[in-house]
Amino acid sequence: MHPNPDIRLELQACRICAERFAATRTAHRPNPVVWFAPQARLLIASQAPGLRVHEANTPFWDKSGQRLRDWLGVDEATFYDRSKVAIIPMAFCFPGYDAKGSDLPPPPICARTWRAAALDMVPQIRLRVLIGAYAMKYHLPDFKNVTQAVAGWRDHPPGVFALPHPSWRNTGWLKKNPWFEQEVVPRLRTAVKEVLDD
Ligand code: SF4
């Protein structure tokens, strides 16, 4: 038996944000995308599902998933193997869209309610990959901004990488910061390989 309580079924049934989501343009119902198992060694600390992920019930089931897997140097089968990779976002449900059509931020109540217990369920994590500002704020005590956190990879505690969100919306950021793909991505791939091949 796992030493920490298995919260996955309870989390899957969570409806705390039902009213909040019903009031968004998509008026969707909560659908927590729960994707982790106690044996995982690599943690993807992400933001929140987008609409496609909400519909497919599979994390990173979109173009950003392709880009993220390329950065990590892993194929789809490895990425979706829950005994290797835990995907634990700052909110487990799609938050809806704002007036401009961008994704709303992850509801803070989700991390308050579930995050510590979800992280307790993956005690064998050896590499944490933080994606986007919300996960960085949670996991990096001295977080200031995404660019600084990504560039400061040498200064993070061992086993931590900070990445920009792999969304197409960040293609401009990637063009402006070529050092990320030249310098950080190769080191990230080496670290991922070490942890998953071990
Ligand atoms: S976002 Fe989190 S707290 Fe809100 S309904 Fe989904 S699982 Fe529950």
Give the domain range for residue 88.
8-197
Residue whose C-alpha is closest to residue 17's, from 80, 129, 111: 111
pLDDT at residue number 99: 86
Residue list, ligand 1 pocket, CB within 6 Å: 14-17, 30, 32, 91-93, 107, 109-110, 113
Q: Residue of the nearest CA to atom 2 in ligand 1?
A: 110
In this predicted model, what pLDDT tens digit does every residue of 66-79 receive, in sequence order?
Answer: 999 999 999 999 99
The pLDDT tens digits for 33-45 are: 999 999 999 999 9
Say if residue 1's pLDDT is above 80. Answer: no
CA of residue 90 to ligand 1 center, whole Å: 10
Q: Whose CA is nearest to atom 6 of ligand 1?
A: 93
pLDDT digits (tens, 9 = 90+) for 87-110: 999 999 999 999 888 899 999 999
| Assigned domain for 2 exists | no
How far is Cα 21 from Cα 24, in angstroms, rounded to an integer?
5
Residue 123 maps to a domain: yes
From 1-5, 13-17, 35-39, 185-189, the region with the lowest mean pLDDT: 1-5
Domain-located, residue 46: yes
Model confidence at 4, pLDDT cuts 50, 70, 90, reads confident
- Residue 1 in domain: no
Residue 39 CA to ligand 1 center (angstroms) comes to 24
Residue 15 CA to ligand 1 centre (angstroms): 6
Q: What is the pLDDT of residues 119-155, one digit of tens each?
A: 999 999 999 999 999 999 999 999 999 999 999 999 9
Q: What is the CATH number of the domain that holds 77?
A: 3.40.470.10
pLDDT value for 149: 97
Residue 183 forms part of a structural domain: yes
The answer to whether residue 2 scores a pLDDT higher than 60 is no
- 66 is written with which tokens? 């392709």
Contact of 43 with 88, CB cutoff 8 Å: yes
Residue nearest to atom 4 of ligand 1 (CA): 17
State in Å: Cα 139 to ligand 1 middle: 19
Residue 3 lies in a domain: no
How many domains in the chain? 1
Å from CA of 114 to ligand 1 middle = 8
- The answer to whether residue 173 is domain-embedded is yes
| pLDDT the model gives residue 166 | 94
- pLDDT at position 130 is 98
Residue 75 lies in a domain: yes
Which of these, 100, 102, 123, lies nearest to 48 by C-alpha position? 102
User: Whose CA is closest to atom 1 on ligand 1?
Assistant: 93
Q: What is the pLDDT of residue 30?
A: 98
